[in-house]
Amino acid sequence: MRTTLKLTAAVAAAAALTLGLSACSAPSDTSSGSGKKGKDADPAAKLVVAASPTPHADILNFVREKLAKDAGLNLEVKEFNDYVLPNTATQNGDVDANFFQHKPYLDDFNKKNKTDIVPVVNVEIEPLGLYSKKDKKVGDLGSGSTIAVPNDATNEGRALKLLADNGVIKLKAGVGAEAKLSDVEDKKGVEFTELEAAQIPSRLADVDAAVINGNFAIGAKLNPAKDSLALEKAEGNPYANFLAVKKGNEGDPRIAKLVKLLNSDEVKKFIEQKFSNGAVIPAFGTPKS
């Protein structure tokens, strides 16, 4: 997940809409209309959650269709193909929560945009992968190769670490997932193209290889287990995707219901069956502070 965070919320929204990366309805149409927020919210009011289409909206729609009614939860899912609008809509109160991001991304977003969105519950992990339509193995990449990477701070760092872990490049000693292009000690002749994460799958044929976020790989009909040249390890991965709300709304009784459902055995089974290729892995629990 990602997009350039230096844009103001207004400019980002306008740019995203222009590029066709907006929500399925305009931000002005996403208001939850649920009245009071936080612990004073009406438990019967509609809860509107912004989400990326796959796998986040898939999981939420499963909850909405199969579990929400019995739990007394009136859930609505708003799909966004962008990584800025879900957070700005949550901050502004146009939606009640969002589900699309991991903590390093949110920390970076909050810092740069002076927002106060907080994680509530972990749900799943989408391993980052290296893909190519031209090369068959990681060893084919080298001098003269062009590799596309996400242009946002946290996912670019993940991408560079993945490339370093697989010997494509060498990073400076001690640098990990916070790596920047300036931390590449030896490019080994590789050139980088920085793109918004959502745009990378459609540009895969234009480069020798690309590091693609799990949700966008799935959306582009890529099978991480079969199609990737290299895949981020899931074990010990700090990039769990979670449900998030504006600070102060953690006590919303509707959020409490959704938290319980998102970490249920039914959702675990759904994720494991729908994404049996390992592209999405359950990662339940409380996010690290």
- In SS3 terms, 82-102 reads as CCCHHHHHHHHCCCCEEEEEC
Provide the domain limits for residue 30. 9-126+238-285
Kindly state whether residue 266 falls inside one of the protein's structural domains: yes
* Contact (CB, 8 A) for 192 and 146: yes
Whether residue 277 sits in one domain with residue 203: no
At residue 238, the pLDDT reads 81
At residue 1, the pLDDT reads 52
Whether residue 96 sits in one domain with residue 61: yes
Mean of all residue pLDDT scores within the chain? 87
Whether residue 81 sits in one domain with residue 15: yes
Kindly state whether residue 16 falls inside one of the protein's structural domains: yes
Tell me the sheet residues that pair with 243: 99, 121
**3-state SS class at 263:** coil
- CATH number at 77 reads 3.40.190.10
Q: At what angle do helices 103-113 and 85-92 cross, to 10 degrees?
A: 60
**3-state SS class at 126:** coil
Kindly state whether residue 2 falls inside one of the protein's structural domains: no
Whether residue 138 sits in one domain with residue 110: no
Kindly state whether residue 3 falls inside one of the protein's structural domains: no
At residue 288, the pLDDT reads 79
Kindly state whether residue 204 falls inside one of the protein's structural domains: yes
At residue 279, the pLDDT reads 84
At residue 31, the pLDDT reads 45
Whether residue 266 sits in one domain with residue 136: no
Whether residue 79 sits in one domain with residue 135: no
At residue 197, the pLDDT reads 94
Last residue of one domain, picked from the residues 188, 215, 231:
231
Give how many domains the chain has, as a whole number.
2
Whether residue 133 sits in one domain with residue 120: no
At residue 33, the pLDDT reads 45
Dihedral of alpha carbons 242, 245, 248, 253, sign:
negative
Instruction: Report the C-alpha gap between 144 and 147 in whole angstroms.
Output: 10
Whether residue 114 sits in one domain with residue 142: no
Name the residue with tokens 């290729």. 277
Last residue of one domain, picked from the residues 231, 255, 275:
231
Whether residue 121 sits in one domain with residue 168: no
Whether residue 18 sits in one domain with residue 116: yes
Whether residue 105 sits in one domain with residue 84: yes
Last residue of one domain, picked from the residues 208, 231, 254:
231
Could you tell me the mean pLDDT of each successive run of 10 residues in the chain, 289 residues long? 37 36 37 69 96 96 98 98 95 98 93 97 93 96 97 91 96 90 96 96 98 90 92 80 97 98 98 89 88
At residue 10, the pLDDT reads 38
Instruction: Please state the pTM of the whole predicted model.
Output: 0.72
Whether residue 134 sits in one domain with residue 122: no
Number of neighbours of residue 248 by Cβ within 10 angstroms: 12
